[in-house]
Amino acid sequence: MARTDLRNSSRYWRDPRVPGLSCLVADFTSHDYAPHSHEAFVVAVTEVGGAEFKSRGRSDEAKTSTLLVFNPDEPHSGRMGWSERWRYRGLYLTPSAIETLNSALGLEATAYFCRNTFHDADLIEAFLELHRVLDDGNDPFEERELLLRSFGALIRRHAAGKPSLSLPGRDANKATHVREIMRERHMAELTLEELGAMVGLTPFQLIALFKRTTGLTPHAYLTQLRLKTAIASLGRGTSIAAAALDAGFYDQSALTRHFKRSYGITPLQWVRATTG
């Protein structure tokens, strides 16, 4: 009987908000992939170690400095090779998820890639952040923003034919209108699609407009609004948990995470300092 390596593990789930999007976290010490393909568009990022793979009649390596990309129905195989461990995160977009992505990016045709490996450090970090946020599953707005920013950047830089992703001009009126809506409704569950439609922009265009006019992404701007609301509530003696929910955060831990990232202290530290 073949020995089972108990150190091999994997976790796979379907994203509840984007039909056709699935995620994988794998941690292998001995697994080999037989030649196969997916109906999905695949992006994989290595967190630890690496592996060897074959595609398009050549061999290459998966490692922490490499972003792996496979087109739908593109055959490939893999094995541990030189590495004693391979921990990676994978994203799988079947046709329904690809259609959602194309619509949000304003693309008429699905992007195609002539290579399987890319080495842009910022893209690698962007896809890692996207996967980790999808893994948490607590912030739909951030998930959609990271999905569009990461895939939008990948397609603009590396897709065959350099597809044109239409970017908006520096339209101050549209940006101001969206900010006003966000200030009025920041405690509600907003979406990029809804906000973009209000000013005639795709979600991807809205993200670009925000960066150009405010220096922040829509999610970062929304987070700042919610933090200010939470601080005002805490100042009135509201509990941290209630202040988080009232401001529009998913829960107290979400407020604490963003509070610490923005101000370097936790809400509890802020409360103790202001109440003496």
Task: Note the pLDDT tens digit of each residue in 206-239.
Answer: 999 999 888 999 999 999 999 999 999 999 999 9
Domains 9-158 and 221-275 are alike in CATH topology: no
pTM of the model: 0.91
Domain edges within the chain: 9-158, 172-215, 221-275
Q: What is the pLDDT of residues 87-141, one digit of tens each?
A: 999 999 999 999 999 999 999 899 999 999 999 999 999 999 999 999 999 899 9
Domain 221-275 is of which CATH architecture? Orthogonal Bundle (1.10)
Query: Which ranges of the chain would DSSP assign to H, the alpha helix?
Result: 95-105, 121-136, 140-158, 172-185, 192-198, 203-214, 218-235, 240-247, 252-263, 267-275
Report the CATH superfamily, name and number, of domain 9-158. Answer: Regulatory protein AraC (2.60.120.280)
DSSP label at 79?
E
What is the Cα–Cα distance from 214 to 208, expressed in whole angstroms? Answer: 10
- Please give the pLDDT value at position 276: 67
